[in-house]
Amino acid sequence: MRFEISKVLDAIEGRVCTDPSLARAVVDLAEVIRYQDIDGGRPASLLRLGMVIDALSRELEEDSVQVYAVVHRALLSDADLTSNERMVVRRWADDGLVEVLDNPGDRMLEVADLLGLPVLSRVRFDGLRGRFPWLVEQPGRVVAPVPGAGGPVFIAHVGGGHSPVAGKRSPTGVKLLARQWRCPESGCALFGGGGGGGAFADLAGGADRSPAAQPPPALRNGVPTCPRHGVRLGDGGPRPRTEVLAVRVGGLVRRRFVLSEEQPIVAGRAPEQDGGIMLGQWLNDEARRWISRGHVRFELRVGEVIVTDVSTNGSGIRPAGSMAESDRIPLAPQQSRVLGENDMVELYPGVQIGRAEELPTGAPFTPTSVMAEAPTMAMRLPRP
């Protein structure tokens, strides 16, 4: 049983991130793990984060949805958690997957404001409506997880709807996210790479984060600041451009990924390249036979997404997402093409990749529960 719980926690680990391009909602981890009436269980349980992520996945009708968690440092020594759970949260903190802060204050709302994300919280934040007008102006920007028949559901504090609603990045957020930032503290998991020189990582800190994936800085008196260390961040130059792509299989978006100018990404049944997007687990036998291990390669060049077929059998482009067979443009092996704004590349009928914002998802299928996803995470590499 203990082992199974570890596997579920590993699966949940894949759903927490501080990447501005991938996070879909902001949560206060300390608050979520104490939603005791969700399952009537222990005073604190990290599994409740999985339940809330599942609820978000159901609302967005999308798999592999990730959340941005902010948490008070006290959680690392919270006696209501098991020692295993505390260890897991500490690891998330060390890897920069969650923001662990001495004083979270209104950081959660700041992140939501800068990134245009909804907030999953039972707190109403009435006192902050002046600073963050979207709290009242955009119904659904803050939704409370409450117990439901098949797990938690959401209720908006304003307007009473059920769906978390995303906004737009604030102008400040757009500005901050155009630059990369460096924390002077060595081994900072959020803004590492203090040595600079184009290296991604401060190896001592174990943060192998691409500058494109850095979280939004905190603003203190208008100065970009490391939320973890409270020190002024150095400007590390322009942030690499990115484009968020999504994989849709059978009508449901299975995962998003970030393509940056820094390196191409190969998607296929089981790509060998670093950072490859593996599709095998979502494919039926016919699709598996058709789709090569590495099938298509994506590159971001001067703001354009270039797709190159690197497969044996070829693929096709569906311009403007058209599903009419006559519109499908074949993409032969080794052929390249600029992916238009609404285009998607089709590796096999029903297996498509396109810009996340332009790829409708919907649901003949229910998204996979993060709680049940555990067995597929067995390949996770052991930590040194």
Q: Which residues bind Zn ion (CB under 5 A)?
A: 183, 185, 188, 226, 228-229
Residue pair 111/26 in contact by the 8 Å Cβ criterion: yes
Residue 81: CB minimum distance to Zn ion, A: 25
DSSP 8-state secondary structure symbol assigned to residue 249: E
Which CB, 229 or 337, lies closer to Zn ion?
Answer: 229
Cross-strand partners of 308: 297, 336
Give the integer Cα–Cα distance in Å for 244 and 257: 6
Residue 110: CB minimum distance to Zn ion, A: 16
Which CB, 204 or 338, lies closer to Zn ion?
Answer: 204
Which tokens belong to 20? Answer: 């501005």
Which CB, 181 or 257, lies closer to Zn ion?
Answer: 181
DSSP helix/strand/coil, 338: strand
Residue pair 84/75 in contact by the 8 Å Cβ criterion: no
Mode of pairing for the β-strands spanning 66-72 and 99-101: parallel
Residue owning tokens 């707190």: 123
Residue 119: CB minimum distance to Zn ion, A: 23
Residues 6+ apart with CB under 8 A from 326: none
Which CB, 188 or 247, lies closer to Zn ion?
Answer: 188
Residue pair 117/68 in contact by the 8 Å Cβ criterion: yes
Which CB, 182 or 297, lies closer to Zn ion?
Answer: 182
Residue 113: CB minimum distance to Zn ion, A: 20
Which CB, 46 or 188, lies closer to Zn ion?
Answer: 188
Residue 121: CB minimum distance to Zn ion, A: 25
Nearest CA among 287, 306, 309 for reference residue 298: 306
Give the integer Cα–Cα distance in Å for 254 and 281: 10
Residue 219: CB minimum distance to Zn ion, A: 15
Mode of pairing for the β-strands spanning 277-278 and 265-268: parallel
Give the integer Cα–Cα distance in Å for 140 and 161: 6
Which CB, 60 or 226, lies closer to Zn ion?
Answer: 226
Which CB, 232 or 337, lies closer to Zn ion?
Answer: 232
Residue 163: CB minimum distance to Zn ion, A: 34
Which CB, 25 or 93, lies closer to Zn ion?
Answer: 93
Handedness of CA 215, 186, 193, 64 (dihedral sign): negative
Q: Which helix (H) or strand (E) holds 171?
A: helix 171-176
Can you give the three-state secondary structure of 91-139, one letter per residue? HHHHCCCCEEECCCCCHHHHHHHHHCCCEECCCCCHHHCCCCCHHHHCC
- Sequence length of the chain is 384
Q: Which helix (H) or strand (E) holds 347?
A: strand 344-348
State CA 264 to chain mean position distance: 19
Which CB, 129 or 229, lies closer to Zn ion?
Answer: 229
- The maximal CA–CA distance of the chain, rounded, in angstroms, is 62
Residue 87: CB minimum distance to Zn ion, A: 22
Residue 203: CB minimum distance to Zn ion, A: 16
Residue 232: CB minimum distance to Zn ion, A: 10
DSSP helix/strand/coil, 351: strand
